[in-house]
Amino acid sequence: MAENKKGFVLYADQKSIIDMLQNEVAGELFKHIFAYVNDEEPISDNPLVNLAFEPIKLQLKRDLKKWEDIKVKRSEAGKISAEKRKQQNQQVLTSVESVEQTLTNPTVKDNVNVKVNVINNNNVESIDFDQLLSFINSTFGRNFKVVNDKVKNKYKSLFKQGYGKEHIKDAILNASKNDYHKQTNYQYCTLEFFSRPETIDKYSSITQKNDNVYIPQQDLN
């Protein structure tokens, strides 16, 4: 048997051969089989054992060949996988080294900082319009259904001008406390209204206290 191969297979259709043997001969045959698969090169003086063993031996050889072919394929697949992992790790190391060199290079340091700041600002200055819609509806008791593209672009323009989500949130909350908007049942407190810079300037910095005003739990973040 091949190295590291710990087992072998006997097939059900071989039973008919064994059934034709007397129990004593069948036992001798099994001992012969186990001696063979353990590379003991057994020799039997019993022709019945030799006759019964021949087809079994041929099947054992076929199975061994299949096992060796599979072993080779697995070895080759393992080498390919290991090489791919090695290449991926090398790419990661190369990328890390490139970033480190860039960050430590004074000639490009300012440029890197600019790029990082732009990325950070883009991530921070974004808004979930579904949450904004829900926030305004719950604050003013309105039932707006959608935020159209024109209004979305106005909010994006606010961010480009330096306004942030906290400015918008403060403006909405302060407007909800304003006597004029209360008297008009908040009819002017629309999504478009709070996309205007002049609205944010007017209401975001106001500090008004009114314990009877409902402040919703939702946030724009």
Instruction: Give me the mean pLDDT over the 179-191 stretch.
Output: 93
pLDDT at 105: 58
What is the pTM assigned to this prediction?
0.40
pLDDT, one tens digit per residue, over 40-95 is 888 989 999 899 999 998 998 888 888 888 888 888 888 888 888 888 777 766 76
Instruction: Give me the mean pLDDT over the 161-168 stretch.
Output: 90
- Closest by Cα among 76, 33, 80, 30 to 58: 33
Dist CA 142 CA 145 (whole Å): 9
pLDDT at 104: 59
pLDDT, one tens digit per residue, over 111-148 is 444 444 433 444 335 788 999 999 999 999 999 999 99
pLDDT at 76: 85
pLDDT, one tens digit per residue, over 77-89 is 888 888 888 887 7
218, burial (CB in 10 Å: exposed 0-12, middle 13-18, buried 19+): middle
pLDDT, one tens digit per residue, over 9-23 is 888 888 888 888 999
